[in-house]
Chain A
Amino acid sequence: VNATHVPSSRWRTFALARWCTSLVGLVGAIVSAAAPSAMAEPYPLLRLIAPAAPGGGWDQTARAMQQALQVSRLVETSSVENVPGAAGTIGLARFVGAERGNDDVMMVSGLIMLAAVVTNRSEVTLADVTPIARLTGEYEVIVVPARSPYRTLADLLAAFRRSPEAVSWGGGSAGGTDQILAGLVAEAAGVNPRRVNYIAYSGGGESMSAILGGQVTAGINGLAEFAPHIEAGTVRALGVSSATRVAGLNVPTLREQGVNIELENWRSLVAPPGLDAVARARLEATVEQMVRSDAWRDTLARFRWNDRYLAGAPFAAFVGAEQARVRAILSRLGTAEPASPSSVGAYPRLVLAALLLTVVTVGVGIWRGERVLAERPGAGWVGVATSGLGMLAAWALLERAGFLLAAGVLFWLTARAFDPRHPLRDAALSVGVSLGTYLLFARVLQLPLPAAPLLGVR
């Protein structure tokens, strides 16, 4: 009996062992599928948010990433959404508020956002998001027009020390990297940073044309944008903000010339708050693979960006250090101070006074019955109220209940405001109009519209 039982029991043990092995294998397969690895499934759609309008550095970074990710097949598709406003702080606030816990989205960020958080006194800061990695860096360069009498940085700084206000420095938007460098240079030259006559321009194009045209004494800008002009000799570069000389560019560093400053305009990626370790690791792995791809190497070369890939805890520590440095220099520059009513200036007061004057003049005229609408007034108060109700409903519903419902209600009520005879036809059309508009904007053009958040459809 025993003899017969042994093989059977052995067989059972064997079967159990095989079952266990396959279970372990299955679990292993599940775990390895979920865990980040080189084998990770590509994202069906990875969304990238550029907290700026199309055309700027953050938008360029997002679109270059979109291309690199798609070309190297790390994602199936990738979309770029622009959320412009206030040097990225609007995008940051929205990212923290609306994307919490979403694991398929990243936002471009960087040094300028750190500065803007300080300058705009933003309540949401970079401490509220999940850091992913630093990607690129761009050095700053100080240039003068080709016709300028200043041959070296020493010449320029000598004139600057003699009469700080007489030297105008043209650069990008107030409180940005360019102005930070101007402040740091002033300090190094022993001049109070508040005496820097900094002329802020919106966008690289505007400030570059001011410098090329000799409208300002000196210019500060990203090296990549100016490199072609330095090579062509249309501007003279006096110093670059790198630690050592930049390869292929015959321009001395600030350090070499006794100005002990190093500054790089870095750009990075962040993920929404509230991600678990698995989701975060998957994003980090995808970014790491992208950074190593040939497509990204090409991109770095084309845009003249320095590879500054840094991930994990070192990146978080780096952000902390930069935050402290930026906060310190901005407070010494005085850009981080709240505007007092007295500093608003003469022009706004003039405009407000003129507005008051014209309102009173026209108001008195109307009160005296001068030229009010000749047509039968008030013919359609019901119409105005109905379409007004439609707008009120659309405003209340759009982000809460979604675009489909909001647009449908708006269309239906407005149509009824003009012609109440076809409620059913108008209702059918309102479904068609809202659905068609949604499909066109959100699906075809990939512009974000909340479809129906209540139903869980984003």
Chain B
Amino acid sequence: VETLRSLGDGFAAALTVSHLAWALAGVTLGTLVGVLPGIGPAMTVAILLPITFNLDPTSAFIMFGGIYYGAMYGGSTTSILINTPGETGSIMTAIDGHMMARQGRASAALATAAIGSFVAGTIATVALTFLAPLLAAVSLTLGPAEYFALAVVAFSTVSALLGDSLARGALSLCFGLTLGLVGIDPLTGAARFSFGIPQLLDGIDVMVLVIGLFAVGETAFQAWVHGRDREDRVEFSGHAGMSRDDWRRSWAAWLRGTAIGFPLGVVPCGGSALPTFVSYAVEQRLSRRPHEFGHGAIEGVAGPEAANNAAAAGVLVPLLTLGLPSSATAAVLLTAFQQYGLQPGPLLFSARPDLVWTMIASLYIGNLMLLVLNLPLAPLWATVMLVPRSLLFGGILVVATVSAYTLNRSMLDVALLYGVGALGGAMRVWHVPLVPAVLGLVLGPMAEQQFRRALAISGGDVTVFVTRPVCAVLLGAAALVLVAPTLLRSRTRVAAQVS
């Protein structure tokens, strides 16, 4: 009741004409900049920060909320239309989203992404409103052993993504894991596999790998397969938006994506990519049509898009309740708070409840505005697919190049982008799946670091992984995920034989 009254005050403060205008400006700018690949949410918020310098705190906070959610929103658009994810949270969206677009269902993909983001954003903001302190306390009990176990769970769920040939899936995964070895070992500060090149000290950026494999690799593959022989135009399917069947297949995926994304956003591990991997894998496992995944299954867009927006709200839990920035974007938001004399930390809610509740209220408003803004835009964006293939791929390569360059202002990243692109094209030719490489690069270093950190804290005692209850449960779950499908299958086979 107390919470509801505070939230009501927050809405009262946010719902004025001028504040709504700032919210609208925030979501519009956030979406526009967030759409550009290579400029992730952290960079978007940082770039737009100076605009708020001359505003009063309330307006500025409302605008931050809009920019933050808007930036998270924008990433899916380029994933779907040009196979180039705008940020790490939209990597999985590219797989089925772009296939849908190629089949003329771009506006359905964009719509399920927009509505899924709205549903997830709203549910997660409600969870943030009522459960924040509790969740923050729970997240603190997780240590390196649990994070390692979480990485193992992620590995076992996504093993389904390895594709139909185990050897080829494993090859792709090992390629990603190997790339993950490059750079400074964060635990000792020693450089590994950097070959004396300073630009490699921080490792290989996952965005370079993703844009290289997906966007550049796709261009190379298409050039090789079809070359100059024919022009196949995208035929739009009858529906401008989502069909009844699309709705039926999407809603459960949105809810599952939210349930996966929010808690994984609260715990400071894995970034925004991890929840989308898990959501995609869960959707594929639960689907009655798993073979459609990778060829334009709408659940493969709905789930991960809900998961990344829920995770974005989850990130705000430790930030607002404990002052802990668990992602780069949260760290930039923290700076923004401090510009307004707000000391983030355990006392934030009691020290400046007016600002915090106004911001939470503006998250609800911003979320709704994003839906209103993006749904009508979906069919408009979809017309990008009508651009002739020659011009589309030309544009994709230019955008991919700018994104890789602006990540770190490094020509090495551009060289890596093209190199990975050539490799990606070859992988497509030889039926080697692309996704496991991305999983390897994201999950490998996480698992290694947390494993070694847990052992360093325990003094080399490996039993920490079974004596800590949460960790043991997670590892058990991982084993179950791996074994259960085989067990189920043999049981149904037995049942079939009996009948």
Contacts and interface: CB of A to CB of B under 8 A. Distances in A.
B431 A373 contact: yes
Contact of A437 (B330, B344, B402): B402
Nearest to B323: A228
A228 B347 CA distance: 7
A110 to B, nearest CB: 17
B33 to A, nearest CB: 7
Interface string B162-195: 0001011011001101101100111111111100
Given A215-B143, A302-B339, A437-B399, A89 B430 contact: no
B398 A348 contact: no
B408 A231 contact: no
A398 B411 contact: yes
Given A84-B408, A379-B224, A120 B390 contact: no
Given A60-B335, A351-B174, A381 B227 contact: yes
B198 A395 contact: no
Contacts of B322: 208-209, 212, 234
Contacts of B409: 81, 83, 94, 448
Given A60-B335, A419-B390, A395 B418 contact: yes
A426 B346 CA distance: 58
Given A215-B144, A354-B170, A398-B405, A228 B345 contact: yes
A371 B430 CA distance: 7
Contact of B408 (A85, A373, A390, A416): A85
B143 A213 contact: yes
A213 B266 CA distance: 14
Interface stretch (A185-193, A278-286, A407-415): A407-415
A205 B318 contact: yes
A366 interface: yes
Contacts of A440: 36
Contacts of B39: 445, 447
Contacts of A426: 390-391, 394
Contacts of B429: 372-373, 377
Given A168-B457, A359-B171, A419-B389, A381 B224 contact: yes
Give the interface residue-count category, chain A: 35 or more
B425 to A, nearest CB: 8
A152 interface: no
A32 interface: no
Contacts of B187: 174, 199-200
Contacts of A41: none
A355 B397 CA distance: 29
A71 B202 CA distance: 35
B63 to A, nearest CB: 15
A387 B219 contact: yes
Interface in A374-399: 375-384, 386-388, 390-392, 394-395, 398-399
Interface in A335-383: 335, 337-339, 343-345, 347-348, 351-352, 354-355, 358-359, 361-362, 365-366, 371-373, 375-383
Nearest to B165: A371
Given A410-B401, A416-B390, A379 B225 contact: yes
A200 B452 CA distance: 11
Interface in A3-53: 53
Given A70-B53, A89-B201, A417-B390, A390 B430 contact: no
Contacts of B459: 165-166, 197
B47 A446 contact: yes
Contacts of A245: none
A123 to B, nearest CB: 8
A261 interface: no
A384 B218 CA distance: 11
Contacts of B343: 227-228
Interface string A419-458: 1100000100110011001001100011111000000000
Interface string B39-78: 1001101110110010000000000000000000000000
Interface stretch (A61-69, A136-144, A154-162, A314-322): A61-69
A433 B334 contact: no
Contact of A411 (B139, B177, B395, B430): B395
B492 interface: no
B398 A434 contact: yes
B201 A90 contact: yes
B228 A418 contact: yes
Interface string A295-307: 0001000110000
A387 B220 contact: yes
Interface string A97-130: 0000000000000000000000110100000000
Interface in B307-355: 318, 322-332, 334-335, 338-339, 341, 343-348
B380 interface: no
A173 interface: yes
B223 interface: yes
A228 B343 CA distance: 7
Contact of B411 (A228, A361, A399, A412): A399
Contacts of B143: 210, 213, 215
Interface string B234-277: 00000000000000000000000000000000001000000000
A380 B228 contact: yes
A90 B167 contact: no
A417 B323 contact: no
Contact of B401 (A63, A358, A398): A398
B171 A362 contact: yes
Given A352-B178, A391-B216, 9 more contacts: A59-B335, A208-B322, A355-B174, A379-B229, A398-B414, A414-B219, A415-B391, A419-B388, A433-B395
Interface of A: 53-56, 59-60, 63-64, 66-67, 70-71, 80-86, 89-90, 93-94, 119-120, 122, 165-166, 168, 173-175, 197, 199-200, 202-206, 208-210, 212-213, 215-216, 225, 227-229, 231-232, 234, 298, 302-303, 335, 337-339, 343-345, 347-348, 351-352, 354-355, 358-359, 361-362, 365-366, 371-373, 375-384, 386-388, 390-392, 394-395, 398-399, 403, 406-407, 410-412, 414-420, 426, 429-430, 433-434, 437, 440-441, 445-449
5 shortest interchain CB distances as A-B pairs: A380-B227, A228-B345, A55-B331, A174-B189, A213-B140
